[in-house]
């Protein structure tokens, strides 16, 4: 892990934010690219939004990137580039919760705050036989208190890294190494044959299904894109004009809708192609959709769009859903 032995709070913070909800193998590349491009918090704060989102592209959970930028700019301007050095001040920063604050304050400043992440929940629930749901308010409070009691106050950084490593390497979510585990004579889960049942979660995630139909409008070698705004997924990333529906639709229906919105002028365009169905599973949403490419005789006026060549588009950050389509087109050497 990049924060192993690291004392620079900027680097620890960056790696923690990048590695949240991301596989380590995937996140490490991003971390190294960020550090190379933005070696200090001041460099990150001074970067344009589009450059930072472009570097983040593909990592998902874009609110992390927005908060990263907001916090970097706050530290650069309000704190003269100096990272705070108390748990409370660190936790007050945008996008930093109790876990990240505990990680930064214990790794960088050796402050006595226990980290409670997925690894710690799993290790404690199994060894101590705790069946309280880890996603309930009561469960979170209980596990946090227990983690604080167990923390080695003299070496909090080392202790936190050890318990997280133990959860990642020995007491893994699936196929933990129980037979060679140093705790197997005390572990309640092992004794009771409940290793696969703990930790317990109470809530089932409900998945919302959404259909995105993108209009890829070509006009004299340029394509219309615009920035997503508002409180929704992929905020601040770019996309083609989209018609969202709650159920699957035929391309002809979408084209009619686009005409009604004056995005397409009747008889002033031809349908070039309709892509296969694309899907992307997010944590609480399933996005499905298609890309309908049309060639225009006349450029329509569509609010907030810019018309770019394929080369110019490469500077803009797009969600993975759109990049899958762009990659496919590049391979076929069509317009992109
Ligand atoms: Fe985890 Fe198995 Fe060790 Fe218990 S015995 S702590 S379940 S690895």
Q: What is the pLDDT of residues 217-272, one digit of tens each?
A: 999 999 999 999 988 999 999 999 999 999 999 999 999 999 999 999 988 899 88
16 is an active site residue: yes
Cα(167) to centroid of ligand 1, in Å? 9
Q: Which domains does the chain have, with CATH numbers?
A: 9-192 (1.10.340.30), 208-331 (3.90.79.10)
Q: How confident is the model at residue 320 (pLDDT cuts 50, 70, 90)?
A: very high
How far, in Å, is the centroid of ligand 1 from the Cα of 249?
A: 50
To test the pocket of ligand 1, the residue of 121, 122, 177 to mutate (highest count of ligand atoms within 8 Å of its CB) is 177
166 lines ligand 1 (CB under 6 A): no
Nearest CA to ligand 1 atom 1: 171
**Nearest atom, ligand 1, residue 182 CA:** 3
Whether the ω angle into residue 199 lies within 30 degrees of 0, i.e. cis, is yes
CB contact set of 130 (below 8 Å; sequence gap of 6+)? 124, 142, 143, 146, 198, 199
State if residue 176 touches ligand 1 by the CB under 6 angstroms criterion.
Answer: yes
pLDDT confidence of residue 22: 77
pLDDT for position 296: 95
> 170: Cβ below 6 Å to ligand 1?
yes
């Amino acid at each position: 892990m990049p924060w192993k032995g690291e004392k620079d709070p900027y680097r620890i913070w960056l790696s923690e934010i990048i590695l949240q909800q991301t596989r380590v193998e995937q996140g490490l590349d991003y971390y190294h690219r960020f550090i190379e491009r933005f070696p200090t918090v001041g460099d990150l704060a001074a970067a344009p939004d589009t450059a930072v989102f472009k570097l983040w592209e593909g990592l998902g959970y874009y609110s992390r990137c927005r908060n990263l930028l907001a916090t970097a700019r706050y530290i650069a301007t309000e704190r003269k580039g100096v990272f705070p050095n108390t748990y409370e001040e660190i936790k007050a920063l945008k996008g930093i919760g109790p876990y990240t604050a505990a990680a930064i304050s214990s790794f960088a400043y050796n402050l006595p705050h226990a980290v409670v992440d997925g690894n710690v929940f799993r290790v404690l629930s199994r060894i101590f036989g705790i069946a309280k749901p880890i996603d309930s308010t009561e469960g979170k409070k209980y596990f946090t208190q227990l983690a604080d009691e167990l923390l080695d106050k003299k070496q909090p950084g080392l202790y936190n890294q050890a318990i997280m490593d133990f959860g990642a390497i020995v007491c893994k979510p699936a196929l933990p190494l129980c037979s060679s585990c140093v705790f197997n004579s005390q572990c309640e889960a092992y004794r009771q044959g409940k290793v696969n049942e703990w930790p317990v979660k109470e809530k089932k995630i409900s998945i919302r299904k959404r259909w995105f139909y993108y209009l890829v409008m070509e006009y004299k070698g340029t394509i219309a894109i615009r920035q997503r705004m508002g409180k929704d997924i992929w905020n601040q990333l770019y996309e083609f004009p989209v018609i969202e529906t709650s159920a699957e639709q035929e391309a002809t229906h979408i084209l009619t809708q686009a005409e009604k919105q004056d995005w397409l002028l009747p008889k002033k365009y031809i349908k070039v192609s309709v892509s296969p169905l694309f899907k992307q599973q997010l944590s609480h949403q399933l996005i499905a959709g298609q890309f309908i490419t049309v060639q225009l005789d006349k450029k329509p006026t569509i609010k907030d769009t810019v018309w770019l060549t394929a080369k110019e588009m490469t500077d803009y950050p797009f969600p993975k859903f759109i990049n899958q389509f762009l990659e496919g087109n590049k391979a076929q050497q069509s317009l992109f």
